[in-house]
Structure 1
Amino acid sequence: MNRFFVEPDQIGGGSIRIMGQDVNHIRNVLRMRTGEEILVCCGDEWEYTCRVTAFGEREILAEILDAQKPGKELPSRICLFQCLPKGDKMELIVQKAVELGASEIVPVSSRRCVVRLDRKKAEHKVSRWNGVAASAAKQSKRMIVPGVHEVMGFREALEYAGNMDVRLIPYEKAEGMAAARELLSGIRAGQSVAVFIGPEGGFEEEEIEEARAGGFLPVSLGKRILRTETAGMTVLSILMYLLEQD
């Protein structure tokens, strides 16, 4: 069953108004007709089973048949801080991060990032990445659409993560896997978690020290060096396994 996201004020009186780009998608891409059923979420814990009842010029009406709390979100807020990779890797990273349960993604410009975006290019990229996040959220049946923030500088990102309960920074010189297992297995449901992933060239030593000073804990991901697009997915996969309650 196809899934769509709406704002809370689009729900009322036993029906839901679907607006924006989804109108064209439902009408012209999916070629749905009245009577067909869909799933709708508005960013909270509720999921609505609906029946399409009418097609308007700019909106589609759907009758609410049932409302349920499927509990599909992880019990912790996980924020992926991803230093800008080369090429189109960020699209893959955003897609997989959403599938694995990340609550938000923050693109970061660190010292060894090859990619440098001016304001206009950054706005275009972020818009594109948010579109990827929305598609991934629908495909993976998330209850929310994780947001992709504007690109942050390294120190700005550290400050943004300052109020999170657990702050992790994978680093090849961190203690071995025994320490990593102890650290990761100690994370509890309800805690917010920041995961900071470096670019292709890794972090500079000074950046690691700045992160340590900001409360980040270096963590090993094993004896092999992982690509930037692999490291974040590895941590998110581990956290999903540890935190998933049912």
Structure 2
Amino acid sequence: MLLPQPQKRRLQRVTLQPHQVEQTLEVNSAIALTSEQRHYLCNVLRLEIGAEFIALDRQGGWWLAKLSSEADNVQIIDKLENNSELDTQITLGVAMPKGSNIESVIRQSTELGVRQIVPLFSDRTIIKSGTEIGNQKRDRWQRIAEEAAELSLRTYVPEINAPQSFKTWLGDRSSASAQILKYICVTHPEATHLLPSLQSAYDALPAGEHLAQIMVATGCEGGWTAREEEIAIASGFIPVSLGDRVLSAVTAPVVALSIVSAFLDTK
């Protein structure tokens, strides 16, 4: 992997907000800091004028930036290379576990390389479809992903979608493509394990082509209902097992993504 020099990697990383990267960044670009970023850099980290840090542009770009003479602004001084991302985009559809456990799923999934997380209402989620999830909670989920991306040297910040029903999510992904693999994790003993299923799909790809996207759906406490499994299969999802042990709603997505990322890292 091509990474920034070690001394650059140790610099603090700060994820820029969408409005800060509306225009394409380049060397010598000036960026106005948000009040939160200014507080973090100047008051928490106690960086002085001229201090350097790494700015992540949310789209894979790493930029070396420094605090200008006015603490409200920073200047881009160099473009850094960092190839820590998986070659295949991973989307996780996760039936929301009880309590605040979705936050753990978001944090660990981000560390494992996921590019998109879709919280889902399922037949067995405690929070039922149609329940309004406030912007404050959704903003918190996105901040958790940003923090995890910074700490794990990600170049992309995963997109946390608004919660939606499992059926709606499946309907938006009914198209079939050899380059898109879709899996639903189940507990049936006859289901093929995720790892050999990935290998079989990879071996079946036409010469010169690569996987564009892998989609994984994991259930909440109690798993998916038979009805949900049926409509998922009808939408092109392949039922797969994560092993002989029954996993919790928090552990299952982490295990699934660990298998996927390890598989992709070896290809």
Q: Specify which of 42, 51, 54 is matched with residue 39 of structure 1.
A: 54
Change in Cα spacing, 1:17 to 1:245, as seen in structure 2 (3 Å) is farther
Count of residue pairs the alignment pairs up: 242
TM-aligned CA deviation for residue 51 of structure 1: 2.7
Residue ranges of structure 2 left out of the alignment (5+ in a row): 1-10, 203-209
TM-aligned CA deviation for residue 176 of structure 1: 5.1
Matched with 2:13 is 3
Question: Are 2:37 and 1:25 equivalent residues in the alignment?
Answer: no
TM-score by length of 1: 0.89
Matched with 1:85 is 97
CA separation in 1, counterparts of 2:88 and 2:107?
A: 19
TM-aligned CA deviation for residue 174 of structure 1: 5.3
Q: Specify which of 118, 121, 145 is matched with residue 109 of structure 1.
A: 121
TM-aligned CA deviation for residue 62 of structure 1: 2.6
CA separation in 2, counterparts of 1:100 and 1:89?
A: 17
Q: Is the 8 A contact 2:33 2:74 kept in 1?
A: no
What secondary structure sits across from 1:54 in the alignment? coil
Change in Cα spacing, 1:49 to 1:187, as seen in structure 2 (3 Å) is farther
Partner deviation per Cα, 1:198-246 (whole Å, 9 max, x = no partner): 0101111011000000000000111110001111111111111111269
Q: Is the 8 A contact 2:194 2:242 kept in 1?
A: yes
Change in Cα spacing, 1:41 to 1:194, as seen in structure 2 (3 Å) is same
Percent identity over paired residues: 27
| 1:53-64 correspondence to structure 2 within 5 Å | 53-56=68-71, 59-64=72-77
Q: Specify which of 222, 232, 235 is matched with residue 256 of structure 2.
A: 235
TM-score by length of 2: 0.82
CA separation in 2, counterparts of 1:119 and 1:26?
A: 37
Q: Is the 8 A contact 1:11 1:17 kept in 2?
A: no
CA separation in 2, counterparts of 1:18 and 1:243?
A: 38
Q: Specify which of 218, 234, 237 is matched with residue 239 of structure 2.
A: 218
Moved more, 121-130 or 88-97: 121-130
What secondary structure sits across from 2:55 in the alignment? strand
What secondary structure sits across from 2:91 in the alignment? strand
Moved more, 115-124 or 204-213: 115-124
CA separation in 2, counterparts of 1:245 and 1:49?
A: 30
What secondary structure sits across from 1:55 in the alignment? coil
Amino acid at match of 2:214: V
Q: Is the 8 A contact 2:93 2:117 kept in 1?
A: yes
Change in Cα spacing, 1:98 to 1:18, as seen in structure 2 (3 Å) is farther
CA separation in 1, counterparts of 2:133 and 2:194?
A: 37
TM-aligned CA deviation for residue 53 of structure 1: 2.4
TM-aligned CA deviation for residue 61 of structure 1: 1.2
Change in Cα spacing, 1:140 to 1:114, as seen in structure 2 (3 Å) is same
Residue ranges of structure 1 left out of the alignment (5+ in a row): none
Partner deviation per Cα, 1:121-146 (whole Å, 9 max, x = no partner): 44332221111111111111211111
CA separation in 2, counterparts of 1:93 and 1:218?
A: 21
TM-aligned CA deviation for residue 147 of structure 1: 1.2
Change in Cα spacing, 1:138 to 1:187, as seen in structure 2 (3 Å) is farther
TM-aligned CA deviation for residue 187 of structure 1: 5.1
